[in-house]
Each structure stands twice: as structure tokens, then as C-alpha cells.
Amino acid sequence: MGYTSKQLSKLMVDKLRRTFGRDVSEATDADMFQTCALVLRDIMSGNRVETREKNQKNNARQVHYLSLEFLVGRSLEKNAFNLGVLPQLKEALGSLGFSAADLFELEPDAGLGNGGLGRLAACYLESTATLEIPATGYSICYELGIFKQKIVDGQQVELPDNWLQLGAAWLVTRPEDTEEVHFGGHVDVSYENGRRVVRHSGYTTVLAVPRDMKIAGYKTNHTNRLRLWDAKSPTPVDLSRFSSGDYVKAVEEKATAEAIAKVLYPEDNHTEGKMLRLRQQYFFVSATVQSIVRKHKAKYGTLRNFHEKHAIQINDTHPTLVIPELMRILLDEEGYNWDDAWYITTHTVSYTNHTVLAEALERWPQDLIINLLPRIWLILDEISGKYQRRLEQEFHGDMDRVSRNAIIWDGQVRMANLCVCACQAINGVSALHSDILKNDVFHDAYRRDPKKFLNVTNGIDHRRWLAQINPGLHELMCEAVGSGDYLLHPELMVQLEKKAPVATAKRLGEIKAANKRAFSDWYAREAGVLLNTDAMFDVQVKRLHEYKRQLLNAMHIIYLYQRLKDDPHFTFTPRVYLFGAKAAPGYAMAKQIIHLINSLANTVNADPACKDRLQVVFLENYRVSLAERLMPAAELSEQISTAGKEASGTGNMKFMMNGALTIGTLDGANVEMCQQVGEDNMFLFGLTANEVAAKVQQGYRSYEYYNQNETLRRILDQMTRGFDDGVSYTDIVNSLLFAPNGGMADQYFLLADFESYRAAQALAGQTYLDPKKWNQMALVNIARSGLFAADRAVTEYAKNIWHVDVRKD
């Protein structure tokens, strides 16, 4: 059902009075933001009732997407867009004397994630709603999302991200759906009338209280839900009656319970094995499974058909404990025997792997699990024992292979091996990454059961990442397709290539120029810095990690700077280099790289030799809402990871869709991108994944590059010497030249790839001088980016993994 702006404005005025006791004339922007959110929430709630009734009637299989991260970002404009009321909302706000843009800007990002994996989960949930798949996302309602980054004296400082003040407007608390999660205690196993009885006692209880966020589909009333579990202590609030000893304990218990939902772990691609993290994991999977089981039993009265009615997706290994938790319920609470419980469980769960970095593979010390989750431990031990006996038979006692595949080994529980053992489908997130899983990381399991291993190349929500953030391009796309149909059929985007090519390319150039101006205007207001909009906007935004090689980019800028200083007539295409990246607070090398980029930026920007030619900007606090402003303005997209390390990348897709050209390695989804547009429409460079692997085998010696290449020597020497601020970056240089104990220097092959990167950069610069050619390349990239729509990816999950239907129109 549509709404006119009049109807919306009436709903808003009423809501404002009833909820906030205010008239329009008294309302602040914050009041009005919340009012809008509540009005849209009401519309979605109505739709949700319909969706629930439909699901209830269909008895269709339900999808449950378990993820410790959902990087949702802002929702007001997005929900209005999907509900088809965005123009009406803007008009209604205008008529009430408010600016829609100001209210959108007021909304805090829901930063419940670190980076790629979390943003992917948010895009996919939107897509399930649009594709009318009955799906629910589950995570934790972190009080503090990903930290806010400040740059002070060139260095990262972390500040808490208190998003719930206004962000809570989207959440509906459901106390009636509260679940109890048990930690600690002890377990007794006894036999009564020949039946095994397991008793868990002496545990502490934490209450899991759902706070639900509705997720509206586009052009459908279908509405899904993101269920965020909040942690509460069951201890009564009135503590004054407790004796003093109990009082302290009661307070302690409350604090420990509520710590679970306090903060998102800011580590990305690195695990530390902290107790609180394990508590978070079990807390959210236990609450989730209990709630699914409770509803299932109410509807069907049995769990026999559980696997037919539910598909549980494990988003990386973080929710792996869902496997033993479902086993626990089937065995202990429902009385199934092991084999039946195992059958049901393994036919329910699937696993997506998002990283092959060794330091990101989760392994938990078994003692931690024994103490915190004694019953879960027994189940894990039994799964592991059975699996190991199978492995020993299969590998004829080859203990090397047995140990590689084992679930519990050397006092540690390996979550990825458990997923591989129990899941009915295992997938990587790009063709290359899935091949690496099959040929390397999970090779033995792949050989045993090749059908279990699939690839689903990632995708992004093109409604948000194109239509919503880049209205100029959206308009052009609508003209090309003849309608807005591409919003539901991203494959129609190829029609952009069928339009008069010269005129279309020219339009693209104009759209990009306008977007660059809009970004610089915003940045001038925000940071007081003027960007040179005549220069190429060359952008690298993503988490800071050595494998992503922000340092390679910085080294190339140092090279350009040195050339400019040597020879003021050195000709090259003027550039604005933009960086945005958060470093995990404990990741010292990543923090030094941020510092280096800022030192370099200050030196370059202050040097008259660089005026109008070279500018370097570190954008503070990179986040979803900043990406939304930046992507439409970007011209060159830096996707320069060491080949074989970036599982897919999704930022690469956002840039492509907004008409930036890619400079990149053949890594992750860059490979599929290259298949789409051809090598002539991107700037490829560097070693391939196979070449990297071969170099590791042969023994890579980075100092040979250093010795033979004067350019590299000068760059590294400058990093040692430092820049205007006199800070020396010897740790960074040392990591490039000197092998740590038992390791290899420059493990991400920066020196090996430098010359090839420099050549690709030079070619990009040359090409930019011919705007016709550049815009034509951008056109091809945009037109062929439909493959990277989340709808395509989610449809593949639906068909090949979840076995559920999708919308047909």
C-alpha cells in the first residue's frame, strides 16, 4: 500500500504528539528523526504480520542466518526507499519545516560489525526480504558497535560508539521471547531405566532478550527480521534485601551477565581466544536455537522434521557452537538417540568460510570450554572422537593427515574442522577462494565429499549501493533500461551498453564530476580541507591489514613524491589519494601504517611542489555512511591485496558499480570482475595466487629486490628517515627486509609486486588523460556489475544450499 506525503505527514504529527508529547513547532531534529523511524516501523510491523501469516500458512522452510556481525549502517532513507515512500517522506518533512537530508545525517550508523563479513550479512538480509525468502538474521545487540576512530597527531585513537541512543528507534523489545542461557556448573550422566539422563546443575543463567529490527524488502510487503539478543541478569533489581555477601555476588553476577552484550570485538581476521568472546558466541547461538526449536515444536509438535523446515547458515566459524547446542537440545531435552540427533543437526547446518588467513582460524582452548560449557564440551568430545576414528580409517593411520583434520587436537577445539565435519554445504565467497578451500585448506574433506563444497561469489545490495547513494547514475540506468526494473533484475544493467555509447560515456563523466564536487563540499564542511576535484580520486578504503597492502599504495605515493621533488617538471596525472581504514586496537603494525600514511599526507600536502598535483587524505572513521558518500565520487579503486589472501572483497564491487575503474591483483572477486569486463577494462598487476605460492616454496628473499632496485631503496630509506614530523618507521621497514624467527621477510610480497604496481599506476594515469576512453571503460564496468548484486548471490544460496523458493516476478 502506498502513502501520500499528506498521509505520512499526518501520521508523523500524530506520532510526535502521542509519543513525545510535542507539537511540530517544538520538535527537535532528534524528535523528528525518531518520529519518522516509528512511523516507518509501524508500516513495517503491519507488513510483518502479513509475512508471518503467509509463512505460517506455507509451512515453507525457514532460513536462519547466524552472524556475530551485521553492519547495518543507517536505515531511515533505506527503509523509506524500500517501502516506496522516499519522495513522499521528503516532501512531508519539507512541509513540516524539516530537511530530510539533515535527519538522514543525524542517524547513527548501526555499526554492529567490523568490515566485509558484517556488511555482507546486512546486504544479504535485505536481499532475502526482497526475494521474499522467509529468513531471520540473529546476532547480539551490542551496546557499543565498532569503535569511532579519531586521528590525533597522525595516530588512531578509539572512542566508544554509543549508537543506541537514536539507533534504538528501530528496535522492538520482545520480553515474551526471552530465552535462558546457562554457563558453568557441572554435569552428571546417569542411566534411568536404560536411558541416559544428563543433569546440568550449578550453572549461572543469563537471560537473552530479543530486540528485533525489521528488514523491509523492496517492492514487496515481505518483511524479515534481524533478531539482536540483549543480555540481562535474572538477579532481581532490588538488592537491598540481600545479605552483604550475596549483595556483592549479585552485583558481580549482573555485571558478568550484562558484559556479554556490551561491546563488539574489534578484531578482524585475528583471534585471541578470550573468555568473553566465547561467552558471546554461546550466548547468541544458544538463545537462537532454543527460540527456533520452541516455535517449531509449537507448530509441528515434533522435531523429527526439524531439518526439513529450517536451514541454519553459519557465517564464518563464529556461530559454530550452534552444532553442539542443537545436539544438546535433541539429546538431553528431547530424548533423541545420537544418530537421529546427528542426522537432524547435520541436515540443518551449512557453513560459509570468509578467510584463509591462519591467524583468523578459530581454535578454542579445551579447558576454557570444559569450564564454561561443560555439557557442550562432552558433546564436542563425542563428535570429535567419532570423527577421528573415521579419519584414522580413511587415512590408514597417517597421523599427519588425521591431525590436520581433527576437531580436538593438542588441547584445542578447531571450529572450522567441526563445521566441515557437520555441515551439509560448505562454501567460499569467490571462485578463487572456493578453489583454495578445495585444493588446500579443506583438501582432504573435499576429496571425501566433493559435492559438499560450493562457491557463492559475494554480492552487494545494489538498491543501497547504487540507486540510493548515486541518484544521477540511477536516473541514467533507468533511462537505459526503460524503467526502474533493474532494481529487481540487476542483469538488466547490461543494457547501459546498448545506449548511444559516446553520449552515455559523456553523461557518466558529468555524473562523476558532480559526485566529486558533492563529496568535496561535504569534506570541506567536515574537515575544513579542500580537495582538488580536477585530480583523479584514487581511493583505498577497507579495514587496515597488512595483506590488503595499504603500505604498497603509500610506498608508491612516496615514490611519486620523490620524483616530483627531484624533477619539478616530472609529468604525471594529478591525483588525490584517499585512504580510510580502522586498525584493530591491538594490531601494532596496522596502527603504524596509519601513522605513516598521516605523516606522509602532512608532508605532501604542505609542500608547494605538490600543489594541484598530489594530495593525500586520510579519512577519519571510515564507516558505512562514509562509504555511501565516497563510492559515487571514486575514480580509481585500489584492490591490491596479495593474491590468494582476500577471500572476495565487496568494496571492489561497490566501486565498480559506481563507475570507478579497478587497479588490482587477480585476487578474490577481482577475478570474476576481470572475466566480466576483460583485462582491457581494468588495471591488473602483480603475482598471481599460484606465483605467490611458488615463491613461498622456493624461498622468497625480499632484500634481493631492495638491492637491485634503487627506487625501492630510496622509498624504504625515506620511511626509515621519516617525513616532516621526524617520526621514523623502522619497524615497518624491518618487517619488509628482515625475517622474523622462523618466518619470511615481507610476507605479503610488497617488494616483489612493486614494479608491476608502479607500471599499472602509470597506465591508469595515462588513461585518465583521455576522458572519452576512461568514461567508456567506466561504462563497461557499470553495465557488467549486475553479477555482483546480492540478489544473484542470495538466489544461489536459496537454490543450492537452503533449498527454498525465491520470488518470481
In 131-186, where does DSSP find H-type helix?
164-167
Residue nearest ligand 26W, CB atom distance? 116
CB of 426 to ligand 26W, least distance (A): 14
DSSP 3-state percent helix, strand, coil across the chain (nearest 5): 55, 15, 30
| 355 belongs to the binding site for ligand 26W (CB under 6 A) | yes
| 360 belongs to the binding site for ligand 26W (CB under 6 A) | yes
Instruction: Let me know: does 112 contact 142? Beta carbons within 8 Å.
Output: yes
From 90, 310, 543, 582, active-site residue: 543
Q: Which is nearer to ligand 26W, 122 or 531 (CB)?
A: 122
| 662 belongs to the binding site for ligand 26W (CB under 6 A) | no
Task: Identify the CA nearest to 71 among candidates 125, 30, 107.
Answer: 125
- The residue type of 715 is I
In 131-234, where does DSSP find H-type helix?
164-167
CA distance 585 to 114: 12
CA distance 4 to 91: 9
From 375, 549, 623, 654, active-site residue: 654
| 648 belongs to the binding site for ligand 26W (CB under 6 A) | yes
From 548, 575, 613, 623, active-site residue: 548
CB of 640 to ligand 26W, least distance (A): 13
- Among 73, 108, 111, 115, interactor with ligand 26W by CB under 6 A: 115
654 in active site = yes
Instruction: Let me know: does 380 contact 323? Beta carbons within 8 Å.
Output: no
- Among 145, 167, 490, 649, interactor with ligand 26W by CB under 6 A: 649
Q: Which is nearer to ligand 26W, 116 or 786 (CB)?
A: 116
Task: Identify the CA nearest to 797 among candidates 460, 164, 311.
Answer: 311
214 in active site = no
Query: What kind and span of H or E run contains 215?
Result: strand 204-216
Task: Identify the CA nearest to 107 among candidates 132, 79, 75.
Answer: 75
Q: Which is nearer to ligand 26W, 182 or 545 (CB)?
A: 545
From 225, 354, 414, 613, active-site residue: 354
Burial of 615 (0-12, 13-18, 19+ CB in 10 A): buried
- Among 112, 213, 429, 661, interactor with ligand 26W by CB under 6 A: 429
433 in active site = no
Contact region for ligand 26W (CB under 6 A) — 354-362, 472-480, 515-523, 533-541? 354-362
712 phi and psi, to 5 degrees? -60, -40
| 109 belongs to the binding site for ligand 26W (CB under 6 A) | no
SS3 of 659-728:
CCEEEECCCCCHHHHHHHHCHHHCEECCCCHHHHHHHHHHCCCHHHHHHHCHHHHHHHHHHHHCCCCCCC
| 422 belongs to the binding site for ligand 26W (CB under 6 A) | no
- Among 127, 220, 223, 269, interactor with ligand 26W by CB under 6 A: 269
* CA-CA-CA-CA torsion sign (118, 119, 124, 127): positive
Task: Identify the CA nearest to 153 among candidates 622, 587, 729, 599.
Answer: 599
| 120 belongs to the binding site for ligand 26W (CB under 6 A) | yes
- Among 220, 221, 458, 718, interactor with ligand 26W by CB under 6 A: 458
Contact region for ligand 26W (CB under 6 A) — 269-277, 339-347, 468-476, 606-614? 269-277
Q: What end-to-end distance do the CA atoms of the chain give, in Å?
A: 18
543 in active site = yes
| 646 belongs to the binding site for ligand 26W (CB under 6 A) | yes
Q: Kindly provide the b/e burial profile for residues 141-159, where b requires at least 16 CB atoms within 10 angstroms of the residue's own CB.
A: bbbbbbbbbebeebebeee
Looking at residues 362 to 391 of the shown chain, list those that interact with ligand 26W (rule: CB under 6 A).
362
- Among 212, 230, 268, 628, interactor with ligand 26W by CB under 6 A: 268
| 320 belongs to the binding site for ligand 26W (CB under 6 A) | no
| 319 belongs to the binding site for ligand 26W (CB under 6 A) | no
Q: How many residues bind ligand 26W (CB under 6 A)?
A: 23
From 279, 363, 433, 542, active-site residue: 542
Binding-site ranges for ligand 26W (CB under 6 A): 114-117, 120, 267-271, 316, 354-355, 360, 362, 429, 458, 646-650, 668
Q: Which residues are catalytic?
A: 354, 542-543, 548, 650, 654
